[in-house]
Amino acid sequence: MTLEIVQFPCLSDNYGVLLHDTASGRTASIDVPEAAPVLAALAEKGWTLTDIFTTHHHADHVQGNLEVKAATGCTITGPVDEADRIPGIDITVKDGDSFDFAGQTVRVIATPGHTLGHIIYHLPDAKLAFVGDTLFALGCGRVLEGTLEQMFDSVEKVGALPSDTVLYCGHEYTEANLRFALSIEPDNAALVTRGEEIRRLRAAGQPTLPTTVAAERSTNPFLRSDAPSVRAAAGLPDGEPAEVFAATRRAKDVFKG
């Protein structure tokens, strides 16, 4: 059993992701930002879609659901707490659930904050996680429905996955996130080095994703609320990590990079 993954741009800054098992042919789309690029990617690979795994209800993650379902007959799985806002949903899942994908265990982890029902999909044996709009390269999702405290806990759940876990995220926001991250930790050598690579990739029109838990732990300010430099930038040298995270998230919301 071998998993193959393709990632491709959708809309202005979303990513579509297809996960394919070569032995069984089972193929999942992680969210459907828009139908046409997903159907085109399937056609290009010669894959037949069997599943959609939805992370959360926002339009730029579900608006292609019905068109893709009509074209492929796939089954749509998504968070139970947002079931009424996810077009075409067939199977609801919640925190702690797990299910099989072509012999791989898929763990469902609730990550409320960006939306209240947001979930991520973790495949521990494949060392993969599809984190939607919870964590981005060098950033995290805006807190639109939940509390900053919830978002802190959710981001920490991603950061607590094994360090070699590969993370697929919903958006290419990395270059803007880099500007903010460097404003917080200008002396973080790992961040400075990563920043050079990010600028090189974007100048060449290349994606900066996927990322890894290890890369984010060393450079993403939202996973570094215990670092003295991040605490200092938040003005909370002795603050609890959750307080530091909240201050950093608020600062990002108004950052003019």
Q: How far apart are CA 77 and CA 74, in angstroms?
A: 10
Residue 78 Cβ vs Zn ion, minimum distance, rounded to whole Å: 13
Residue 234 Cβ vs Zn ion, minimum distance, rounded to whole Å: 25
Does 58 belong to an annotated binding site?
yes
Q: Is there a catalytic annotation at residue 118? A: no
**Interaction site with Zn ion (CB under 5 A):** 58, 133
Q: Is there a catalytic annotation at residue 20? A: no
Q: Is there a catalytic annotation at residue 133? A: yes
Q: Is there a catalytic annotation at residue 122? A: no
Catalytic residue (choose from 20, 114, 118, 122)? 114
Closer by beta carbon to Zn ion, 81 or else 133 = 133
Does 57 belong to an annotated binding site?
no
Does 81 belong to an annotated binding site?
no
Catalytic residue (choose from 31, 51, 81, 133)? 133
Does 61 belong to an annotated binding site?
yes
Residue 113 Cβ vs Zn ion, minimum distance, rounded to whole Å: 11
Q: Is there a catalytic annotation at residue 60? A: yes
Q: Is there a catalytic annotation at residue 56? A: yes
Residue ranges for the known binding site for Zn(2+) are: 56, 58, 60-61, 114, 133, 171
Active site residues: 56, 58, 60-61, 114, 133, 171
